[in-house]
Amino acid sequence: MKLLVGIVGLPNVGKSTLFNALLKKQIANVANYPFCTIDPNVGVIEVPDKRLPVLAKIVNTQKIIPAVIEFYDIAGLVKGASKGEGLGNKFLSHIREVSVIVHVVRLFEDGDVIHVSNKVNPKGDIETVESELMIADLETLSKQQEPRSNASKEEKEQYEVIKIVKEKLNQGIPVRNLNLTKENEQSINRLNLLTMKPVIYLFNVSEKQLENKEETEKKINEWLSVIASKAKRSQKEIASAPPAPRNDGSPYLYLNAKLETDVLTFFEEEQKEYLKQFNLEETGLNRLIKKAYETLGLISFLTAGEKEVRAWTIERGTFAPQAAAVIHTDFEKHFIKADIITYDDFVKADGWIKAKELGKVLSAGKEYVMKEGDVVDFKVGV
């Protein structure tokens, strides 16, 4: 499955610098003025996975295919974007394509890099972007017509959900914070509302702020707490059914985008030493991918054979036949069973043959729920 991540934020917050660092090459056009990015830059990045080379050595293959993640560098939003200010409408349409929004927020002070509102105001910046997305959603909802008297029960129920969502948006509450039931979410999925998408806040900090971890985290949590307090709501008028699973905690990361770029010039061991200075164990790319997977509820399973070693992305809770369909759609229909072993057991046994001799391989049927790091050999009748 595709994982599409959209990088958004106000102009000059470091989105393109971050994008260049994440892609490990200078793709985005970094410039010190708003709207230097007109079309979204798209980059397909391999998901770092240290398990794959280990498996490749065991099964004696040279071909390694990691999972991938697509990053969209979407040009800066400004106040009034929902009404077409700047290049707003075009940018908003690009956001509709992504699975998760990474909202880059500027914390660093730099007199040489202008701010679109002439001051660094993280809380205000977050609220500006969020407001524009909510206004865009309200415009989408305003186009929805009240169902006729002879409309189906489903159509009438859907309209009731639309009215509730519209009311809450007018109160400044994004759709993702409404704790809608799974059924209610599905009923409005077709509208592709922007504020229904999960958000990861990514704070771009200075090196000094990066070193002063405790103070930086305290400030970030204070800003997010104020924003979250505005989004507290009652579920009474939504439905009595249990809410759908959702990461409601405003997940966030912070990094120095320039430092991420600098690190790319170092060898792996040098990177580790450099990052240690800032009490970091891995690069922002790795941390961002993990946070995106966590936010969307994704995991990876692995296949290992002489032809290739590969990582596949699925949703947590996926059954074996549906996981097989990620490899080939026919595999779900013709699924027989799956030989499954944990990555650690596979490595200890040095491959399939000994693993089976040791009884470490599970013969799983259609009801098996896939787990992170499962090494799988699907048996299908085709």
Q: What are phi and psi of 242, to 5 degrees?
A: -60, 145
Q: Are 116 and 85 in contact (CB under 8 A)?
A: no
Strands of 170-326 (E only): list them.
199-204, 252-255, 298-304, 309-315
Given phi > 0 = left and psi -120 to 50 = alpha, else beta, which region is 359?
Answer: left
- Where b means 16+ CB within 10 Å and e means fewer, 326-347 reads bbeeebbeebebbbbbbbeebb
For the annotated binding site for ATP, the residues are 12-17
Q: Which of 49, 42, 278, 230 is nearest to 130 (CA)?
A: 230
Length of the chain: 382
Q: Which of 87, 81, 89 is nearest to 125 (CA)?
A: 81
Q: Are 246 and 195 in contact (CB under 8 A)?
A: no
DSSP string over 140-175: HHHTPPPPPTT--HHHHHHHHHHHHHHHHHHTT--G
Is residue 230 helix, strand or coil?
helix
Q: Are 260 and 26 in contact (CB under 8 A)?
A: no
> What is the CB neighbour count within 10 angstroms for residue 144?
15
Cα–Cα distance for residue pair 231/382, rounded to 1 Å: 51
Cα–Cα distance for residue pair 344/238, rounded to 1 Å: 45
For the annotated binding site, the residues are 12-17
Q: Quick one: DSSP state of residue 310?
A: E
Q: In what order do the strands lie in the sheet with 362-364?
A: 64-65, 309-315, 298-304, 374-380, 335-342, 362-364
